[in-house]
Chains A and B, each alone.
Chain A
Amino acid sequence: MRNVFERRASSWVALVVGAAALLSFPLWSPNPYILSAGIVVLSYAVLSTSWNFVGGFTGYMSLGHASWFGLGAYGTGLLITRAGVPSFLALGLAGVIVAVLAVPIGIAALRVRGASFVIVSIALVLVLLLVFQSWRDFTGGSDGLVVPRPFPDLLPPRAPHGVLLPVRRAAGPRAAGWWTIDRSRFGLGLKAIREDEDKAQSLGVPTFAYKLVAFVVSATFTALGGGLYALWFGDLDPIFQFSILIGSYMVLMALLGGVRHLFGPVLGALVVGVAIEYFKVSYGDTQFHLVATGLLLAAVVLFMPDGVIPAVAGLLGRLRPQQSSIREVTAAELLEQNRTAADRPDSTDSTDSTNGADRAEVRR
């Protein structure tokens, strides 16, 4: 039992330290460039976590979440420039509009599973890109759309404290939403869909409704992330907002970190986001970042499809001393353990670690 508490305590400590580091980031970041790169990485984390609401819970991997990102960004931008709505109200309104749009699209897209769903998600980005590029009078087309920034004097170098406010505001509801769903009956239903949709349905889980709700929640959160992007960067272009690449970054980050964990996408965003920024700085405007993204994604899919967190946890599990709860051990293993313990009363670390390794093998 003690180990459970220890582990839980250590994860809380990690959480508090991480949050503190995140919140105080503007204070200790060494220069404005790092600060603005940090904001980019944080917004990737926000987007990727939003993606994970549908990708992680239900296993429906959308490669087209850039459509929600772009719709949120353009919705916010257009409401401000064309309708004169105040900035943050426009952000909220854009979120509502996208939520409403996501319902019929979700109904159409969720009628199919797996590969067809991915096709639909990609098609959505491509069609939105076409529409926003061609509808020049309304969206500005490829000339772009300039959105007035609501924080005129909050340029990174001068006002370090207020800078992260929007991102912080965005991160809070996502973490809370994830935490709640993860522990609810609803979340259980979603995970059942991920593991085996037919069985879940036959057990009485209202799979379609559950999927749709998760889809709309994820789309709305992503759109709000896009709206914040529009407010912060203030310059929109269809080719960057409705870019397959942004959608694939979200998937890559979530997969790399581990889709089954709240902090998986955050961890993935830290790794991938820093890598992306690094590639941009070192190799400039070449196509190299495409190659790097492709290689990284292929490596993750081939070698650790469950993500870094489970992979590392598996490694740590081998080194960790005896497991705490007998419920995680089968009767046969327990017998084996007792026998070993009886043979060697001065139970050493080496035997423990082999036990741990066996158990890890069995559980996999």
Chain B
Amino acid sequence: MTGSLLFQSLVLGILLGGLYALLAAGLTLYFGVMRVVMIAHAAFLVLAAYLAWDVHDRFGIDPLLSLVVTVPLFFLAGVGFQRLLIARLRPATVTMMSVLLTFAVALLIEGMLGFVYSGTQRRVQLSYSAASIEVFGAQVAVVKLIAFGLAALSLLALYLLLTRSRFGQALRATIQHPQAARLIGIDTDKVAGYGFGLGLATAAVGGAALSLDSTIYPSLHWHWIGPLMAIIVVGGLGSIPGAAIAAMVLGIGQSLLQLPLGTTWAQTVFYLALFATLLVRPQGFFGGRLAQRF
């Protein structure tokens, strides 16, 4: 195993980790505002990827332009999902029942995708699909760089929104202590709805990035939701920085392990990390005051 191969894997791992970080941040948002584990997150991701593919296939537009439509659409869908479905569940059992509800939504989306687009594997072919550039001796595909850039930009935007705006403050207050947030006059229901919308918007961005460089099929979302859920548990449920760091570490780990073990076995790194975390530190490695009770 040469050094340049190792370096190449490291770069690819960082690029993959960026996408994981964005999606895991979305999952953490849902959990933060509503204590909901959104199993349908990856299904929405695949749905967005299919929409990007469809736009490209039908009108010949660059899949990235589908973001103009999908991001607002997913944001609204997220707000609606929270207000119309999650809010209906009994508060005492909301964590458990919402897992089942979002699981049902994931099945629904997978089934509908199979119904509408059939189970055939799809891939977007672009003029720059095969292009790659050299970074310090490592060959990196342009589409992967674009995907990473998109993820990093969205993550930065999310970070600024959460730390610099009044809405971000309200959202973080809702995550920290909903009751206290209500007492100081924050409309937590509304904020929780917007939090959900933001989470789904990350899935829309991730979907466009995903459609650039991977083959998509309806049941793909199971390959994403497993690692993503492992990431948010390892990072500590409810902690966005924790999720981002865990995503980076595990993404790089997966990419490096692919060299000696091959792609399939390398995936198990997420689950091993998950079980190790549970044994050593069940509340996760960063923050995660909430984790053990939920």
Interface string of B160-180 (1 = CB under 8 A from A): 000000000000000000000
Alpha-carbon distance A51/B104, docked complex (angstroms): 18
| One of A59, A124, A298 near B105 (C-beta < 8 A) | A298
Stretch at the interface among A114-122, A149-157, A316-324: A114-122
Q: Kindly provide the distance from the CB of A144 to the nearest chain B CB, expressed in whole angstroms.
A: 17
With beta carbons under 8 angstroms apart, the residue of B35, B267, B268, B270 that contacts A115 is: B35
* Contact (A286, B114) CB under 8 Å given A108-B279, A116-B237: yes
Verify if B133 is at the interface (C-beta below 8 Å from A): no
Say whether A248 faces chain B, with CB atoms less than 8 Å apart.
yes
* Chain A, interface SS category: helix
B91-110 vs A, CB cutoff 8 Å, 1 = contact: the mask equals 00101110111011111101
Residue B129 CB within 8 A of the other chain? no
| Nearest-CB residue, chain A, relative to B237 | A116
A123 CA / B229 CA spacing, docked (Å): 8
Q: Give the chain A neighbours of B93 by CB distance below 8 A.
A: 305
Contact between chains at B104 and A294 (CB < 8 Å): yes
Decide if A126 is an interface residue (CB 8 Å cutoff): yes
Q: Taking CB as reference atom, which chain A residue is nearest B36?
A: A115
- Report which of B99, B230, B292 forms a contact with A112, defined as CB distance below 8 A: B292
Asked whether any CB of chain A lies closer than 8 Å to the CB of B278, the reply is yes
Closest to A61 in B: B96
Is B282 engaged at the interface, CB distance under 8 Å to the other chain? Answer: yes
A30, B111: Cα distance in complex, Å: 33
Quick one: which of B245-287 are within 8 Å of A by CB? Answer: 262, 264-265, 267-268, 270-271, 274-275, 278-279, 282
Asked if residues A126 and B222 are in contact (CB atoms below 8 Å), the reply is yes
Looking at chain B's contact residues, the main secondary structure is helix
B294 touches A116 (CB 8 A): yes
Looking at the complex, which one of A286, A290, A305 makes contact with B107 (CB distance below 8 Å)? A290
Tell whether A291 pairs with B95 under 8 Å between CB atoms, given A63-B103, A119-B37, A298-B104: no
* Contact between chains at B107 and A115 (CB < 8 Å): no
| Cα A286 to Cα B111 with chains together (Å) | 8
The interface-forming segment of B82-90, B138-146, B148-156 is B82-90
Scan A10-42; emit 1 where CB is below 8 A from any B CB, else 0: 000000000000000000000000000000000
Find B104's partner among A120, A122, A134, A295 (CB 8 Å cutoff).
A295
Of all chain A residues, which has the CB nearest B279? Answer: A108
Contacts of B225 in A (CB 8 A): 122
Contact assessment for A302 and B89 in the assembled complex, using a CB-CB cutoff below 8 Å:
yes
Q: Is A291 a contact of B271 with CB atoms below 8 Å?
A: no
Size bracket, chain B contacts: 35 or more
Identity of the chain A residue whose Cβ is nearest the Cβ of B118 in the assembled complex: A287
Q: Is the beta-carbon distance between B293 and A113 smaller than 8 angstroms?
A: yes
* Cα A326 to Cα B233 with chains together (Å): 50
Q: Is the CB of A287 within 8 A of B119?
A: yes
Min C-beta distance of B272 to chain A, whole Å: 8
CB-CB under 8 A from A244, the residues of chain B are 222
A114: chain B residues at CB < 8 Å are 95-96, 293-294
Could you say which of B39, B222, B291 contacts A116, with CB atoms under 8 Å apart?
B291
Contact of B271 (CB < 8 Å), options: A61, A116, A123, A296: A123
Tell me which residues across on chain A come within 8 A of B100, comparing CB atoms.
Answer: 61, 63, 251, 255, 297, 301
Most-contacted residue by chain B among A245, A295, A301 (CB, 10 A): A301
Residues of B within 8 A of A (CB): 31, 35-37, 39, 85, 88-90, 93, 95-97, 99-101, 103-108, 110-115, 119, 218, 222, 225-226, 229-230, 232-233, 237, 262, 264-265, 267-268, 270-271, 274-275, 278-279, 282, 291-294
